[in-house]
Amino acid sequence: MSTYGYARVSSADQDLSIQEAALRAAGCHVIRAEKKSGTRRDGRTEFETLLDFLRAGDTLMVTRIDRLARSIGDLQDIVRTLRSKGVALRATEQPIDTSTASGKAFLDMLGVFAEFETNLRRERQMEGIAAAKARGVYKGRRPSIDTAEIVRLQREDRLGATAIARRLGIGRASVYRALAAADD
């Protein structure tokens, strides 16, 4: 029965040292850490390694539940996986301990709030983008497909959509959309 730590930050310029120190102080001798987004589980290799390593009776320790997951669905999947292995989940900064009924209830409440926070952040971001577009400041990313080149290949080189798509390394549907936009 061992306690293993998991630390995560979202971007490369953020620092893991505070989380790692808190996990060491909580008794974690092995800590896996990574700089990856918490909105998705795929690509979090350190976390997956830790999940493979944990055995019945072990405890997975995090500083806060949002270091583990940002959606209630992902959190519930992780907790189910841990429960099926006989592993408890605890947090240093929150009263979470899945080996107790009150700890499980608090975990579910925090998961709901973490997902709510993520959704609010996404809404604010979309509102900001809409406002910037209205002011003419934000134009979006530059098109990756050259519509003029597609039209030229069709008219001058007499290539069909499949041949154009192969030549430009794009999908056939993109060729059709570009040709439709050029006709408008």
Backbone phi, then psi, for 143, in 5-degree steps? -60, 140
Q: What six digits make up the tokens of 12?
A: 């490369």
What is the rounded CA–CA span in Å between residue 151 and residue 129? Answer: 31
User: b/e for 31-70, b at 16 or more Cβ within 10 A?
Assistant: bbbbebebeebeebebbeebbeebeeebbbbbbebbbbbb
Active site residues: 10
Residue 19 contacts residue 33 (beta carbons within 8 Å): yes
90 - beta bridge partners? 61, 97
Residue 31 to residues 19, 55, 92, 155, Cα–Cα distance (Å): 10, 15, 14, 61
